[in-house]
Every structure is written in C-alpha cells, then in structure tokens.
Structure 1
Amino acid sequence: MDETPPPYRALEVFQAFLIQGLTAFGGPVAHLSYFRREFVERRAWLSEAAFADLLALAQFLPGPASSQLGMAIGLRRAGFSGLLAAWVGFTLPAATAMIAIAYAAPSLTELLGKGFLHGLQIAVAAVVLQALVAMARALAVGPIRSGIAIGAAGGLLIAHGPVAQIMALGAGVVFGLAFLREPAPVEPDDPATRKVPIPVSIAALAAFAVLLGLLPVLARVLNDPTLDLAAIFYRAGALVFGGGHVVLPLLQSEIVEHGWLDQDSFLSGYGVVQALPGPLFSFAGFVGAAQQVAPSGWRGGLTALVAIFLPGLLLVLGVLPFWDRLKTVPAARAALAGINAAVVGVLAAALWNPVLTTAIQRPSDWALAAGAFVFLAVARLPAWLVVLGFAAAIGVFSR
C-alpha cells in the first residue's frame, strides 16, 4: 500500500529519477528497462500494462522517448510538479557534466591531443551504427518500410539541411498513410493514466505550435542570437522521432553547417555524452555552452537544454488526455510507422555524413570502427566503456 503523502510525492519523484540520472547508462533503450524495473517491479507506481501504454505514448510522440516516459510517470505519480521533478532529476547529472565539459573542452584538446578526439569520433561511428541497426530491425521491416528508409537516406545524401530532413519525414507520413496498416494497440488494465484537464492539454498543444512558429520569427525580427539558439533547439526537440540518436543529424545541419560550432567539437561532445548516464539530449547543454554565436557558457547551455526538452514536455501534457482515442485511429498509427521508417533513413544519411566522413581519416580507421562495433553489438560491452576505451587507446597510441 502506498504510504507517501501527496505533498511529498514530487520530492519522492525527484529523488527516484535523480538516482536514474546518476546510474542509467546505455542510452534510451536501456533507460526503458531501468524504468520498468524501478517503477513497475520495485516501487509498484504503475502496472505493467499502464507502463506499456505510457511507453507507447512516448514512442508515438516526437522528442526524447525515455525522458517523456519519465515525465509521464512523474505526472501520473505527483501531477504537474511530478512531471517537472522527473525531468529535472533525470536530466540534471548529465546536463551539469556536459556544460562543465564545454568549459573544459579547449583545455582537454590541448592536454589529451587530437588522438583522443579521433578516438571519440570512431567510437561515435560505432555507436550510431549500432543504433541504426537496432532501429532498422524494429522500424524498417518489410519492403514498404525499408523502401521509405532507403528513399529518405538517398534523398538526404543528395540534399542537405533541416528543410530536406523535414521533407524526408513528411514523405514518410505520406507513404505511411498510403501503404501501411498497423494493428490496434492493447488497452491497459490500469485506468489511472491521466491527470491533465482538457483545457490545460489544449493550452499545452497551442503553446507547442505557437513556439514552433514564433521563435524563429522573433529571432530574425529582433536579431537576437539567444532566441535563435532557442529556436534551433526547440525545432530539434519538436521534430526528433526515433530517439536521442536522431538529434545528431538535426542539430548537425543547424549548428555545424551554419558555423555555430566546429565539426570536431560537435562530434567529440556527442561521443562524451555516450559515456554518461541519463538522456542523450543532455548533449544540448554541451552545444549551447560551447557555441560561439549566442551567449555561451552555462547560460547558453541552459537555454539549449530547456528549448530542446520543452516540446516533449508540452506534447506529454497535450496528448495524454486524448491518447486512448488517438492510439486507436488507424491513420495516426500508419503515419507514425511511416515517420519511423523515414527516421531510419535520416540516421543512415547522418552515419555517412558527418559521422564517417569525419571519423575515417585513414584506411586503418575502418578496422577500428568495425572493432568498436563488434565490442558494442557482439560482445555487448556498455557504450560508455567502448567510448572511453577507444578514446584513451587511440589517444595514447597516436602520440
């Protein structure tokens, strides 16, 4: 029986998710298993079927799936304060570390040398390849889905930039609606899955849409780099389907190609976040703190973090009351299946450019990247160990 008084539940949620933020290594897929073990089996905050239902919601929405699942669990446990407590607790450790690393990044490069950064980039290539293989097996099965993925990848190898990526996702929607049929989901056995009043939900959806359209306009009209930074990260958070790894191509096309941060620093920061617990979206803290166009440091890092997580938070609030009805609509499920297949292609294109084109500097690097992939996919070593091991080894042997 639950004996925690309601006024203390938000603190309880924060403490529980802070532990996850300090210990949940392995990326989004691993986070889901950690959450299930902690909140279904150990704490019994929700039933198995209710957990599966909230997981389906998180996977349906754009944004960081594990963080949104955590938000939904926190919301269900302690209302709006529980949602915020879950997000802050889970994100705080990695976000703090990534902002701190951004401050130290120039010194680290000088101290450890380019070999260390090269090792990070090779490990990133293996991590992204592993994510691509896992996503393809789950989301691009069959001739139609694989065709959508191949088409998206081919198109993005020809046309670059955020507009091309949005068009690839839009094409996934069109082909999904036209050709895909998805089975109806299983209903949860726990009815207590909603705590959001309809007016609050509608306001959240309206805020999501208004910010998506208004932030870039305000940034241009006011010529404000901070608003521009917020608009970039908000757009990335609003358009990321398929998990944290997909944020790499979306941010690369916005940040690196427009001169906010150089390619080596960008990929090195992405390599470092693989070695930390917590959400991969914490990478935003590094980019926001390290970039040199808008005010940087902790202010830029905090701006980027809030902006990239805010769309997911608003969508959880906005969609949760309508989820039971929405998930039964065949067109919605088909559109999501098409987007997810296109996301596989988006990540495949990013694996080639910028990941492999940056990491592979000589023929032997192909063997190193293949070795890192074997350690991840065959030996099943944790990503943080492979990332740190390759960075250290290549850094030492390249001196």
Structure 2
Amino acid sequence: MLPSVPTLSNFSLFKIFLKLGCTAFGGPAAHLVFFYRRFVQQLGYLDEQQYSHLLALAQILPGPTSSQMGIAIGYQLKGYRGALLAWLGFTLPSALLMTLAAMLGLQFSAYFSADFFHVIQLIVFSVVAWAFWQMLRSFCKDQWQYVLMLLSGLFVYLVPISINQMLVILFGALAGLVYLHYFPQKSTLKPVTSISITAKKSFAYLWLILFALPFVLVPPLQYFFPHIWLDSFTGLYRTASLVFGGGHIILPFLQQDFVESGLVSQQHFDLGYAIAQLMPGPLFSFASYLGALLPLSSSAALNAAFATAVIFLPSFFLIFGALPYWSRLMQFPRLFQALAGINAAVVGLLLCLVVQMGEKYIRSGLDIVFIIAVIALLKSKVPVWLTLISSFFSYYGLLWLLDHYALFSFGL
C-alpha cells in the first residue's frame, strides 16, 4: 500500500484538481506553477525535491506534461485511485467544454462564412508559429540541435509517408546519443532521496508492457479486421505515446491521422484547435472535440469519452511503470541526451507544420500583418483568451467591411 496523507481524502484531492481544471489557464508552464503553489507552498503535501523529481519524470516522458504531473502527484499522494481522481478532476472541465463545442460546431457550421474559417485558420497559424518560436528557444541550445531541427522539418516536408514523424523522433534520439558519445555531458539533476514510492518495483514493469502492447497487437487487428474504432484508437494512442515537448506537437500527428484520412474536415479541425486555446486545463482535451466529430457511433458524447480516455491512457501506463524506477533512471545521462535530440526533432515537426499551414492559409499581405499582430499580443502580458477573441472579431470585422464596402479600391 502507498502511504496515504491523513488530512487529504480522495474527495479533497479530486476537488483540488477540479478547481485547477476550471481555473488553470495559460498552458503547461502555467499549470506547473499552479501545481507547485498548491501542493508545495500552500498545502505542503510535497517538498521541493519531491516536486522537482516528479516534474523531471513528467517532462522526460512522452505525453502531456502538466497532465502527467497531475497524475504523478495523485499517485504519490493517494496511489492508483489518487492518480485517477487527479486526472479526472483536472481534465473533466475542458473535456466537457470541448465536447459541447464540437456538438455546437456541427449544428451551426453551415451558418459560418468562408471568412469566419479563414480568420480561425490564421489564428491557429499564429498560435502554432508562436509555440514553434518558444520551443525553438527552449529545446535548441546547441548548433547540432538547430541542424537536427532543420533536417527533421525538411524530411517530413519532402517525404510524405505515414511513418515519417516516427522516423524523425527515432532519428532525433539516435542523434542525441551519438552527440553524447563524442561530447559527454553530465546530468545536472541530483539523485532522488525523498521520493517514497513503495509500490513493488517487481510489478511496475507490467505497466510498461501494457504501454507497449497496443503497438504489437493493434496493427495485426487492423490488417485482418479493419474498423474505424481500431483506426481511431491507433491514431490517438500513437500520438500520445510519441509526443514530446508540449501539447502543440499533437497537431501534426492528429492532422495526419484524422484530417488527411478524411474523417474530420480541415475547417472543423482548425476551429476546435482554436477553441482549445481558450480552455483551462490540458490542451490534450482537444481529443474530446475530435472524438465528438468522429463517426464512431451515434453518440457524440460516447465518441468524445472514448477519444479522451485513449489519448491519456499512455500517460497512466508510463507514470505507473516508470515512477518506481525513476531514482535509478536519473543516473543515466544517455536518457537525457536522447531526449535532447528528440526535442530538437519535434521542433522540426512543428517547423514543417508552420510552413505547410502558411502555404495553405496566407492569402494576402493583410493576413501577414494580422499574424504578426496576433503573435505580438501572444508575446505580451495580455491574457491568451482575450488576445484570441479580440483578434478574431477585429479581423473578421475588417474582412466583412472590405467585402461589403469595396475598400479594396483604397489599396487595403
């Protein structure tokens, strides 16, 4: 049994994360600050070292960093049940809102004009371009990482095969290990001394086996029994298992699996991703929106629940399987050097996406001015939700005026 905290009941843990799920705007970086303030500074359920090492694990694993941090905190405090309650509380608000947004979008999309979707696409492009710039500054520190980033983006752009993104990630890990061989570096992280995970390590590896099983079992099932449920499961599970570096990286994976396959229209996809930027909680709740659009069953709510569960499933397997071994894993610098290569490679994936989106979405010089303005606002201290909403209505209103009053004649 994991040691429980007497003053923290399961319901109290759920309420804490539910409140965070309703109020935690600003993306993973902000979420991690909220977690720190609540569980370390205010409640004292974790000390500084415990929090830093749980955070290191959440960051090095593929998947949504802030959600995995929440799962790890719940697991550390209240065991398996605590992990589930922490995830449920943090994810439920945004998942419900995104499901509702998908249902309303399907019902009213016929009333949206071409300019409406065009502005949405430009906003999505601005968000992704800004995310690319932030990730570039965070993950590309050395010259070899910049080279790897450019090669990765070029490869994905020029080689449009279904496994190109997986190949890029594997190549990134290999490049990181090769660099370590010629330029050895030591990890700056200290060994864990106060993490008190008492779950039996002899059984923890079973979670890692469960994590790997879908990659072995589902492809043969897809081959012999092709079905949209299996295809959707594969796309969502693979995306969550391969994503490093933040929620924005899910975009090229999900677009390849669900937009290019024709299951979801590009316009609805972009609309949902724009709405996801306005939501509190994890960006991975975009899967709830996507699931509600998939023709899996007659129930959009059931489809959304399925997509939400699948995209977060790898995180549970990885946290439960890796956390008991984490103090030993942190002694291997090769692990962190491989991650440095992977992070540089996924920045290349995002670069490729920015180029492809720019080719499709930018129609005029006025669009470029709008994109620059949105990125400038995202860089400022203006809240993201206010930036996106005000930008949308401002540019959509301008396009409406240009369309109805023929202001193009004035050179606008």
- The alignment's TM-score, normalised by the length of structure 1, stands at 0.94
SS at match of 1:373: helix
- The alignment's TM-score, normalised by the length of structure 2, stands at 0.91
Is the Cα–Cα contact under 8 Å of residues 53 and 192 in structure 2 kept in the other structure?
A: no
Q: Deviation string for 1:249-269 (max 9, x for gaps)?
A: 111111111111111111111
What's the offset of the Cα at 1:376?
0.7
For residues 240 and 57 of structure 1, the distance between their equivalents in structure 2, rounded to whole angstroms, comes to 15
For residues 61 and 227 of structure 1, the distance between their equivalents in structure 2, rounded to whole angstroms, comes to 24
Matched with 1:336 is 339
Query: What residue identity is the alignment partner of 2:11?
Result: L
Q: How does 1:218-257 map to 2 (within 5 A)?
A: 218-257=221-260
Q: How does 1:42-57 map to 2 (within 5 A)?
A: 42-57=42-57
Change over 3 Å in CA distance of 1:80–1:195 after alignment to 2:
farther
One of 262, 267, 279 as aligned partner of 2:265: 262
Is the Cα–Cα contact under 8 Å of residues 26 and 383 in structure 1 kept in the other structure?
A: yes
For residues 262 and 357 of structure 1, the distance between their equivalents in structure 2, rounded to whole angstroms, comes to 18
Query: What residue identity is the alignment partner of 2:22?
Result: L
Is the Cα–Cα contact under 8 Å of residues 287 and 301 in structure 1 kept in the other structure?
A: yes
Matched with 2:385 is 384
Query: What residue identity is the alignment partner of 1:224?
Result: H
Query: What residue identity is the alignment partner of 2:240?
Result: G
Matched with 2:80 is 80
SS at match of 2:9: helix
Matched with 1:313 is 316
Is the Cα–Cα contact under 8 Å of residues 236 and 254 in structure 2 kept in the other structure?
A: yes
Q: Please say which of residues 129-138 and 117-126 is displaced more in the overlay.
A: 117-126
Matched with 1:393 is 394
Matched with 1:97 is 97
SS at match of 1:398: helix
Matched, 1:285 2:288: yes
Query: What residue identity is the alignment partner of 1:259?
Result: G
For residues 280 and 177 of structure 1, the distance between their equivalents in structure 2, rounded to whole angstroms, comes to 30
For residues 105 and 126 of structure 1, the distance between their equivalents in structure 2, rounded to whole angstroms, comes to 22
Q: Deviation string for 1:178-236 (max 9, x for gaps)?
A: 01344324336761342432243111101000022222332332222112211110111
One of 269, 274, 299 as aligned partner of 1:271: 274
For residues 238 and 111 of structure 1, the distance between their equivalents in structure 2, rounded to whole angstroms, comes to 37
Is the Cα–Cα contact under 8 Å of residues 5 and 78 in structure 2 kept in the other structure?
A: no
Is the Cα–Cα contact under 8 Å of residues 49 and 194 in structure 2 kept in the other structure?
A: no
Dislocated runs of 4+, deviation >6 Å: none
Is the Cα–Cα contact under 8 Å of residues 76 and 195 in structure 1 kept in the other structure?
A: no
Query: What residue identity is the alignment partner of 1:397?
Result: L
Change over 3 Å in CA distance of 1:259–1:301 after alignment to 2:
same
Is the Cα–Cα contact under 8 Å of residues 139 and 343 in structure 2 kept in the other structure?
A: yes
Q: Which runs of 5+ in 1 are unaligned?
A: none
Is the Cα–Cα contact under 8 Å of residues 225 and 295 in structure 1 kept in the other structure?
A: no
Question: Between Structure 1 and Structure 2, whose CA radius of gyration is higher?
Answer: 2
Q: Please say which of residues 210-219 and 199-208 is displaced more in the overlay.
A: 210-219
What's the offset of the Cα at 1:288?
1.0
Q: Deviation string for 1:30-68 (max 9, x for gaps)?
A: 111111111111111111121111111011100001100
SS at match of 1:348: helix
Matched, 1:137 2:163: no
Q: Please say which of residues 211-220 and 40-49 is displaced more in the overlay.
A: 211-220
For residues 356 and 86 of structure 1, the distance between their equivalents in structure 2, rounded to whole angstroms, comes to 38
For residues 376 and 356 of structure 1, the distance between their equivalents in structure 2, rounded to whole angstroms, comes to 18
For residues 380 and 218 of structure 1, the distance between their equivalents in structure 2, rounded to whole angstroms, comes to 49
For residues 217 and 386 of structure 1, the distance between their equivalents in structure 2, rounded to whole angstroms, comes to 46
Change over 3 Å in CA distance of 1:52–1:398 after alignment to 2:
same
Q: Which runs of 5+ in 2 are unaligned?
A: 401-412
Matched with 1:183 is 186
Change over 3 Å in CA distance of 1:238–1:4 after alignment to 2:
closer
What's the offset of the Cα at 1:9?
2.4
Change over 3 Å in CA distance of 1:113–1:253 after alignment to 2:
same
For residues 121 and 76 of structure 1, the distance between their equivalents in structure 2, rounded to whole angstroms, comes to 41
Is the Cα–Cα contact under 8 Å of residues 17 and 90 in structure 2 kept in the other structure?
A: yes
Change over 3 Å in CA distance of 1:162–1:242 after alignment to 2:
farther
**How many residues matched?**
395
For residues 43 and 109 of structure 2, the distance between their equivalents in structure 1, rounded to whole angstroms, comes to 43
Matched with 1:60 is 60
Query: What residue identity is the alignment partner of 2:242?
Result: L
